[in-house]
Structure 1
Amino acid sequence: MSSGGRLIHRWYDSSGGWSAWEDLGGVSSLDTPAVSSWGPGRLDLFIRGSDDALRHRVYDNGGWSAWENLGGVLGSPPAAVSWGPGRIDVVAGSLRRTILRRWYENGSWSAWVTAPVVENVQPSIASPGPGRLDVVAVAYGYGLRHQRYENGSWSNWLIVPGDGYPALSWGLGRMDVFVTSRGVVQHTWYS
């Protein structure tokens, strides 16, 4: 992201090192973008536009698509993850203190669905394996909330003390969350 709210991108190739910066144009936002990949040569890029709608752009084997407006009224930056080829899940906080979620599967996007959470939220999402999602939401002043999707259904929200940072998974059955508690960064994980 550049200082003017324009999205810029660079990449690393082991044979050539770092590229020059590339301006992706067309969207103005001061938020951090979210990126997901469901396979080699594929990136799905998400940003909350200046109109608070979710914007999406695809890099597929050498070229970028045009920006696509996926709608919604986001109250936080989006987070995105893929649990396998052809599947992407995107979450964001709404202006009504809920979590918005939308997913891509079988060539099309679902409608927006919401999940209530206490207080303001900024969610992150991880997938430690096919058919599994973990959503971690920062409920400012109330710590973290964690909800898991597995076997076709969502768990109840669990409370995790601390203020959270994005959750991520680096392997099958593993999820890591970083939290700050009284100014100290702490790390917890599930495996």
Structure 2
Amino acid sequence: MRALLRRALIAAVTTATVAVGLAGTAEAGQNKPLTADYGPVATLTPAVGRDVDGRLVALTRGSDRSLWYDTQAVAGVGWNGWRNIGTRQLAGKPVVDRDTSGHLVVFARGTDDALWWRTQTDAGTFGPWVRIGGGITDDPAVGRNADGSLSALVRGTAGELWVWKQDGPDTTTGAWTNLGGGIIGSPAVAAQSDGRLVAVVRGGGDAVYVKTQAVVSGAWEPDYVYLGGAINTPPTVQRGVDGLLHLFVRGLDNALYELPQNEPSGAFGTYTRIGGSWTADQFATSRQADGRISVFGRGSDNAFWTVVETEAGSGRFGAPSSLGGRFTSGAAVGVNVDGRLQVFGTGVDRQVWSAAQLDPDGGYAGFTITD
């Protein structure tokens, strides 16, 4: 009955207010009742992962500080309806990855400023929150080690970078290591071609620094490497089909810049200005079905914009292109089972909206509410 009522509300509002084109809109449902009876009143950037059965799962923090999630009804199609599985304990946005069994694992900063996590017990079903501990000030970043264990990187209360690593794949225990430094905001992390994780941070002077594992799945190098630049938002990192890590940052002129490695697992090259005018939200990245890197973010007009690599592995990027909508959060991106990218964000109505590619590597349909 609740699901039917939810869909009736969607249909009624859609008839009255929604006009969707290729670019779409995320403000069409702004008159929708903002109540927990409908779904989450989302407050931060959502997260998205793909379940073991191929269905995308959207996650968000509601205004009640609880974790909410919604699962596609069928892989690539429709939604089952939002579920509240929190107890009002989230201070930040959820971050999601997968363990070696394919189950989604969610990390978040709690209202006690500790790191918490919860793991799926089956497709679409999550276990309870487990407190990892620590004292953190920003949202975590999560990467998977070559041995299958997950590492969560966070900014500590004194500004240093800390990493919590599982003792092994799919285990429930782990250990903290202080990686030092004085960082600003949330870090980013990715695995380079040789399997070692690389952490990317905004440090002193608003410059970019990286720290790399000294051993695959093991200890970290003692020193940071200075990459220069001057940024004003958390960095993002994506590995391309060429094996190179590509860093994406917002410069002090609010434009998008890209910095690639010169060779796989090697040193970094020079910054290239891609342009655009972006908000301070962290960029979201993914690879399309044909291998091209796509970058998503919120523009200064509050619409979502995207930048796409001109050819897979080329390291060259086209001009920013608007996807439309009006958002209050950054973007999150998932990959449907058929290879179509789907971008998610919190609209001005504080509901979660998404737009999917019409075909793999193709254009995007209009934004629709995630019900």
Tell me the TM-score range normalised by the shorter chain.
0.7 to 0.9
Q: Which amino acid aligns with 2:96?
A: V
Shift of residue 170, structure 1, vs aligned partner? 5.7
Note closer, same or farther for the CA distance 1:24–1:140 as it changes in structure 2 (3 Å cut): farther
Letter in 2 for 1:45: V
Q: Is the 8 A contact 1:133 1:150 kept in 2?
A: no
CA contact (8 A) 2:189 2:197 kept: yes
Paired position in structure 1 for 2:133: 71
Task: Could you tell me which runs of 5 or more consecutive residues in structure 1 were left unpaired when the two chains were aligned.
Answer: none
Match of 1:50 in 2: 111
Q: How many residues align?
A: 191
Q: Deviations over 1:48-88 (max 9, x none)?
A: 10000111100133221111010101121111111356410
Select the residue among 97, 100, 103 that pairs with 2:162: 100
Letter aligned with residue 237 of structure 2: A
Aligned counterpart, 1:157 = 224
SS in 2 for 1:18: coil
Q: CA deviation at 1:153?
A: 4.6
Aligned letter for 1:154? W
Name the structure 1 match of 2:188.
124
Match of 1:4 in 2: 64
Query: In the alignment, does 2:94 pair up with 1:33?
Result: yes
Q: Give the aligned partner of residue 51 of structure 2.
A: none
CA RMSD in angstroms comes to: 2.5
Q: CA deviation at 1:21?
A: 1.7
Q: State the secondary structure of the residue aligned to 2:192.
A: strand
- Flag the structure with more relative contact order, 1 or 2, with Cα contacts below 8 A and sequence separation at least 6: 2
User: What residue is the counterpart of 1:136 in the other structure?
Assistant: 200
Q: 1:67 and 1:119, CA in 2 relative to 1: closer, same or farther beyond 3 A?
A: closer
Q: Which residue of 1 aligns with 2:256?
A: 185
Q: CA deviation at 1:130?
A: 6.7
For 1:84 and 1:60, the matched residues in 2 are separated by: 23
Structure having the higher helix fraction is 2
TM-score (norm 2): 0.47
Contact 2:162 2:180 (C-alpha < 8 Å) held by counterparts? no
Tell me the distance in 2 between the aligned counterparts of 1:144 and 1:169.
17
What is the CA-CA distance between 1:90 and the residue it aligns to? 0.5
TM value normalised by structure 1: 0.85
Question: Kindly, what percent of the aligned residue pairs are identical?
Answer: 20
Asked if structure 1 preserves the Cα contact closer than 8 Å seen for 2:184 and 2:201, the reply is no
Question: For residues 163-187 of structure 1, what are the alpha-carbon distances to aligned partners after superposition, in whole Å with 9 as ceiling and x for unaligned?
Answer: 2423244668442321111211112
Q: Which amino acid aligns with 1:162?
A: A
Q: Which has the larger radius of gyration?
A: 2
1:20 matched to 2:81? yes
Residue 15 and residue 185 in structure 1: after superposition, are their counterparts in 2 closer, same or farther (change >3 A)?
closer
Q: CA deviation at 1:119?
A: 4.9
**Matches of 1:85 and 1:119, distance apart in 2:** 27
The runs of 5 or more residues in structure 2 that have no matched partner are 1-60, 265-371
SS in structure 2 of the partner of residue 26 of structure 1: coil
SS at match of 2:136: coil
Contact preservation (8 Å) 1:128, 1:170: no
**C-alpha separation between the residues in 1 aligned to 2:100 and 2:240?**
15
Q: Which has the higher strand share?
A: 1
